[in-house]
Structure 1
Amino acid sequence: MTHAPVPCTECRERVSARLDGEDDPFPAVDAHLQGCPDCRAFADRAATVTRLARTGTAQPGPDLVASVLTAATGMRPVERRRRAGVAVRAGLGMVGAGQIALAAAGVLGAAIAGTGEMHMGGASAEHFAHESAAWNLAIGVGFAAVALGRSRLVAGLVPVIGAFVGVLAVLSVVDLIAGRVDPVRLLAHLLLVVGLVLLLLHRRVLRDDGGRAVAPPRFGPVLPDTVLPWSGPVAGPGAVAHADRPSGRREAA
């Protein structure tokens, strides 16, 4: 049985299809290979290349060790910042408790001492003690609130407590030199100094925004002002190919 001859181009295409795993039972190709040395040489070269491509050694993949180590190293500062934030808040909680205790002690001390007969500026010494206790209580509540997670209060507490500590430090030095205050009494003011330092650390370590307004997040990416393939006459190669091809609706029409 004879078969119609095939040209060299078709023969080589069918040889390539066989090497790619396609089932091509076309006896005329085998007959052409037996009589055409060029196509037979092409088939041998193609078979060699295919065999090398399938049995060649695998190329080494990218080394991900450095990337993993870099990512792990980048996580360490975050973990340190988190632990530092926990420590700062714990310290603020203790300072707040100390300030509240000072307020309670001031009220009780004024009641026990009975200094109601001493007046100055239209108020008794007991009332001045109550004012001081109220201030200590307010400061203690502020410290405790930040310790419990109200970080936005830091922006308001820092300037108020900073100004108070600065003025109190100057007046305390003057009173100490003049002998109007016991040095032991001044030790109670160290709580305010410690609290102010912790507030500053809180703002620095936790990078608090201080209550400032931030821009609302954008919903979706910001795209450049370019003409998309489906929005205008300018289109990419794929869109041009589809544009040249008539749609099924038009064929049906």
Structure 2
Amino acid sequence: MDCSDLREALSARIDGEDPGLPDDVLDRHVAGCPACRAWVERASALRRVTLIREAPRVPDLTERILTEVPAPDPARWGLRLALAVVALVQSGLGLAELMGADVGHAEHGGLVAAVHLGNESGAWNVAVGIGLLWAALRPSAASGLLPTLSGFVVLLGIMSGLDLASGQVSAGRVVSHGLIVIGVGLLYAVHRAEKSRAPAPPSADGLPEPGDTRTSSGPVEGPASTRPRRRSFPHRPTGHRAA
């Protein structure tokens, strides 16, 4: 076999194909033939050049992105501070009940039942206070507390109205539940304020397509089928978090 036949087999081996000859035969010929050895080195280098190339240059769009994306509104502390005050007062009432103080929540019949119901009421008040305080510190948690506390307030209002109408409780006892009603109202207000702070997802118009090197702020035109579709429901952007 001459060098041309062996070089065809060497080329197949470089490309990862079956050379048709044993490797020891090819290696022995390359070791003894300087011309084929140089040819293998050039072919291997050429293959690397065809497989690896420099990444295309892309424009720096940092300034354009920071200019077009609106900054989030500053946090409003008024509602959150009011919610924190209600949370602390609510927790204080619960702790006072657990310690045996009379705060107007012990109007139950029977000593054992009164102690047990007082402990339950105190534990619930402490839990509600902790939840409201957590929502004041982390407004994103308000949405998770609203269903439970709203349902509780609605049922509590119905039952309290029935008990008041039948004379089983006094008006002062019913009025004492007004604090949790205020807390749920502030919780809803904090939830709405936090939801309004989330910026709307940016439109796909104006985003550069792959390979676009223009730095102007004009929209990038393209077929409608290639533009990403916007979801019908908003997603909370990760950039809205305190990073």
Q: TM-score, normalised by structure 1?
A: 0.46
Higher RCO (CA-CA < 8 Å; seq separation 6+): 2
Which of 1 and 2 has greater Rg?
1
Structure with bigger helix share is: 1
